[in-house]
């Protein structure tokens, strides 16, 4: 007579059938392939759920509110290289693609510039107490405040130029990455650096070989999070006022009440965000095989 386990009464009770046994040897590729296929299948099913829900909603709602995924894709493809509708808005002979390029460029530029400053500031202030007491209150205020309030200000000061948006993204990235780097440096056990000192390692060696690699996983995580928000910030700044960018397309299409165009542009930003996030994840995975 075999025993059967009663279905678990606990919430999210772990699936014991997949519990890892301590020192067991690997038993070949067949099992791994099976598990990989299963995960992919479930993810695919999940994606199908998303598009099915969208399709259903589009069927129920008037086309002035929502259009189907196919219609959105069609609009996207049709207008990617050249969007005749947008010409009226003084953007020139552009398509979604070139506008998106502007957005991507600004976002990445702002993130890199601001991130560099932020990481530098965060790591040094975590290790130098004197710097810390000035950085902390600054970052505390700037960190809790919606950076968005600076968007109209920058527009007033610098005008409708790329610099306005890049500055906004850079400012946000600097604040966020200061916080993340500080936390990463704090979470890094000082034991490691102390151990390096016992080997006679100087400050520059400790920074390069202990502090930077040690804080890298958490900082990369912070970069991912910051990047995800940076997209929205850049797009928003473009909607407020910019010479180009997908935000300008969104603004124009909203004025025209063009739902398919609007959805196509939002989809483009979403796709950019998802792809760059995956890229970052892959890069992080390779860099941090040790983590």
Under rule CB under 8 A, which residues in 164-223 are in contact with other proteins?
179, 183
- Choices 71-79, 113-121, 190-198, 265-273; region in contact with other proteins by CB under 8 A: 265-273
9 binds other proteins (CB under 8 A): yes
Q: How many CB atoms lie within 10 A of CB 47?
A: 10
Q: How many CB atoms lie within 10 A of CB 42?
A: 10
**Residue number, 38 or 194, with CB nearest to other proteins:** 38
Nearest distance from C-beta of residue 160 to other proteins, angstroms: 12
Cβ-contact 206, 196 below 8 angstroms? yes
- Choices 67-75, 88-96, 150-158, 280-288; region in contact with other proteins by CB under 8 A: 150-158
Cα end-to-end span (Å), the chain:
45
Q: How far apart are CA 263 and CA 124, in angstroms?
A: 43
Nearest distance from C-beta of residue 220 to other proteins, angstroms: 17
229 binds other proteins (CB under 8 A): yes
289 binds other proteins (CB under 8 A): no
Q: Is 18 helix (H, G, I), strand (E, B) or coil?
A: helix
| Binding residue (CB under 8 A) for other proteins from 77, 88, 212, 270 | 270
63 binds other proteins (CB under 8 A): no
| Binding residue (CB under 8 A) for other proteins from 62, 90, 146, 202 | 146
| Binding residue (CB under 8 A) for other proteins from 100, 168, 216, 263 | 263
**Residue number, 86 or 240, with CB nearest to other proteins:** 240
Nearest distance from C-beta of residue 208 to other proteins, angstroms: 27
155 binds other proteins (CB under 8 A): yes
Q: How far apart are CA 91 and CA 250, in angstroms?
A: 12
| Binding residue (CB under 8 A) for other proteins from 69, 236, 280, 284 | 236
| Binding residue (CB under 8 A) for other proteins from 110, 119, 251, 264 | 251
How far is the CA of 99 from the CAs of 12, 42, 96, 103, 133, in angstroms? 45, 35, 5, 7, 42
Angle (nearest 5°) at CA 119 between 117 and 125: 95
Site size for other proteins (CB under 8 A): 93
Where do the H-state alpha helices sit in the chain? 29-60, 69-80, 96-127, 129-144, 150-158, 162-187, 190-198, 203-206, 212-240, 246-255, 259-287
Ranges within 24-43 binding other proteins (CB under 8 A): 24-28, 30-36, 42-43
**DSSP for residue 3:** -
62 binds other proteins (CB under 8 A): no
Cβ-contact 250, 235 below 8 angstroms? yes
| Binding residue (CB under 8 A) for other proteins from 71, 112, 228, 284 | 228
Closest C-alpha to 96, from 239, 266, 237, 241 = 266
Q: How far apart are CA 205 and CA 155, in angstroms?
A: 43
Binding mask 71-100 for other proteins (x = CB under 8 A): ------------------------------
């Amino acid at each position: 007579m075999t025993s059967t386990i009663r279905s678990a009464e606990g919430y999210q009770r772990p699936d014991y059938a997949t519990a890892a046994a301590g020192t067991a040897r690997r038993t070949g590729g067949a099992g791994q392939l099976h598990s990989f296929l299963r995960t992919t299948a479930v993810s695919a099913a999940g994606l199908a759920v998303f598009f099915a829900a969208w399709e259903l909603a589009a069927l129920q709602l008037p086309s002035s509110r929502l259009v189907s995924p196919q219609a959105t894709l069609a609009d996207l493809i049709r207008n990617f290289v050249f969007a005749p509708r947008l010409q009226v808005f003084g953007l020139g002979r552009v398509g979604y693609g070139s506008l998106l390029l502007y957005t991507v460029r600004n976002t990445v530029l702002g993130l890199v510039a601001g991130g560099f400053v932020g990481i530098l500031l965060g790591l040094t202030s975590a290790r130098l107490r004197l710097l810390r007491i000035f950085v902390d209150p600054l970052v505390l205020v700037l960190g809790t405040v919606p950076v968005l309030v600076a968007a109209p200000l920058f527009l007033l000061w610098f005008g409708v130029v790329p610099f306005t948006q890049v500055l906004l993204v850079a400012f946000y990235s600097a604040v966020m990455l200061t916080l993340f780097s500080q936390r990463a440096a704090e979470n890094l056990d000082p034991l490691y650096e102390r151990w390096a000192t016992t080997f006679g390692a100087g400050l520059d060696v400790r920074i390069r070989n202990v502090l930077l690699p040690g804080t890298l996983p958490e900082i990369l995580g912070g970069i991912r999070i910051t990047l995800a928000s940076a997209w929205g910030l850049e797009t928003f700044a473009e909607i407020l006022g910019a010479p180009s960018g997908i935000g300008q397309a969104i603004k124009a299409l909203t004025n025209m009440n063009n739902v398919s165009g609007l959805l196509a542009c939002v989809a483009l930003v979403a796709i950019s965000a998802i792809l760059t996030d995956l890229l970052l994840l892959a890069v992080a995975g390779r860099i941090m095989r040790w983590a």
